[in-house]
Structure 1
Amino acid sequence: MAETLTFTLSSGGDVVIKLRPDLAPGHVERIAGLASEGFYDGVVFHRVIPGFMAQGGDPTGTGTGGSDLPDLQAEFSDEPHARGTCSMARTSNPHSANSQFFICFDDAGFLDGQYTVWGEVASGMEHVDALPVGEPPREPGKIVKATVA
């Protein structure tokens, strides 16, 4: 199984994410699979809230879309939502995660145990910090290329 996911961002460089199949094997498999198929290439960060998180992974760029694959069953854990945590976005239904994800800018403990953590930023967090802000940003930052290794 893939150990890292790298997002090359339009905001200036590579973000290397350590995948956590020990926490969420199904979600890691989905994210790595979509990345290796090129699904995330060109996808924007449609919701970037300073002090909270940057959300992306929707091919429509609106926050309402996902992949054509079925939604995933939640894989909640005790892993804290700290700076650099990569977690799945979802609707109010705990089992509605699909392709959208978010990366935490700061500690967000109120999310712990309610969202599936699938990775942590190992390097390049400064490029996440540099993403244009807004809901949506006027000129959103995007994933130029996603690769798994």
Structure 2
Amino acid sequence: MTVSTTDARPLRDARSRTRSLPLIACLLALAVTPGHAQAQAQAPNGVIPAAPAYAAADWRPVPADNLLVIDTNRGRILVEMTPEVAPLHVERMRVLARRGFFDGIVFHRVIDAFMAQTGDPLGTGDGQSPFPDLKAEFTFRRGPEMPFVPVAEPAGAMLGFLNSLPIQTQPTALMATTADGKVHGWGTYCPGVAGMARDEANDSANSQFFLMRQPYPALDKRYTVWGRVVSGLDVVRAIKVGDGDNGMVTADPDRMIRVRIAADLAEIDRPVVNVLNPSSAAFRTLMAGVRTARGADFSVCDVDLPVQVSGMGAPAA
């Protein structure tokens, strides 16, 4: 399945049940600017500031039931799943991980400045799990109880973080005017964001998913966002790039060795992840530095949340 640069409608190929993420033309993908705040944000003199020391209260623990542990032949990837924005898709990931469905599945389509796609047991883009397709969760309803922290408020919108996930949302002030006291929000496709691949029908996601190697906000509100890589983005970017049409990997693709929910691992093998809390003063200080460094070019994708990982145990071999 592809997307033409002149026609945004998904185009079905000759296969009847493709689960492939629509691909943006190479020229567009190569034009994407990386969104690495901590690695790229620099002071005006070009010196990268030293990493600050954070206090224990600055960190937010990632619940083990929301932490997806993906061991690949390239290394370990940790994804914080966000059930607040896509409960059906997060539950599907939990079910499949707990059944060992993803174990041994290859990254069948990888584009360097775009994304790495996997989750197809056939490794061709045609496969899926035995479960029914999912109803799309392109947007969600954000209520005042959600831990959303804004970092920018352009006219008529707010950008910020829901836990580690970058999102865009309608202004909080609109909550007073809606029947349910909530407003629309959606995940935005920054580096590391995890999305669900689908066919041309909106409600056709099943088991194939992709991890963003670079930002691509053109996917926003078109593909369900269900989480974000909090550790291992370097691994995602090291996955072998496709050598065939539309980014298909035709020879010796990289693969997922084992995929589990952290809560299901033995304590000795369970990674413990803490992410800088967007509600903390330390985060506000980080934001001020990123804004100064980026100036008018600032984007929510420029913000890399610092992460602590401990108790990694032995990755699956």
> By the TM > 0.5 criterion, same fold?
yes
Q: Which residue of 1 aligns with 2:136?
A: 74
> 1 or 2, which has the higher helix percentage?
2
Q: Which residue of 1 aligns with 2:198?
A: 90
Unaligned runs of 5+ in 1: none
CA distances 1:4-41 after superposition (whole Å, capped 9, x unpaired): 00100111x11000001010000000011101110000
| TM-score, normalised via structure 1 length | 0.97
Q: Which residue of 1 aligns with 2:233?
A: 125
Q: Which residue of the other structure, out of 87, 91, 94, is the alignment partner of 1:32? A: 94
Does residue 60 (structure 1) correspond to residue 122 (structure 2)? The answer is yes
SS state at 1:129 partner: helix
What code does the residue aligned with 2:91 have?
Answer: E
TM-aligned CA deviation for residue 138 of structure 1: 1.5
CA distance in structure 2 between the partners assigned to 1:33 and 1:4 by the alignment = 13
TM-aligned CA deviation for residue 65 of structure 1: 0.6
Does residue 114 (structure 1) correspond to residue 222 (structure 2)? The answer is yes
CA distance in structure 1 between the partners assigned to 2:116 and 2:193 by the alignment = 11
Identity %: 45
Q: Which runs of 4+ in 1 moved over 4 A?
A: none
Unaligned runs of 5+ in 2: 1-63, 140-185, 243-247, 263-317
What code does the residue aligned with 2:102 have?
Answer: Y
CA distance in structure 2 between the partners assigned to 1:105 and 1:127 by the alignment = 10
TM-aligned CA deviation for residue 2 of structure 1: 2.0
CA distances 1:56-96 after superposition (whole Å, capped 9, x unpaired): 00000001110010000000122101100000000110100
Q: Which residue of 1 aligns with 2:66?
A: 3
What code does the residue aligned with 2:73 have?
Answer: S
CA distance in structure 2 between the partners assigned to 1:65 and 1:138 by the alignment = 18
Matched residue count: 148
> 1:8 touches 1:15 (CA, 8 Å); kept in 2?
yes
Q: Which residue of 1 aligns with 2:209?
A: 101
What code does the residue aligned with 1:121 have?
Answer: V
Does residue 142 (structure 1) correspond to residue 205 (structure 2)? The answer is no
Higher RCO (CA < 8 A, seq sep 6+): 1
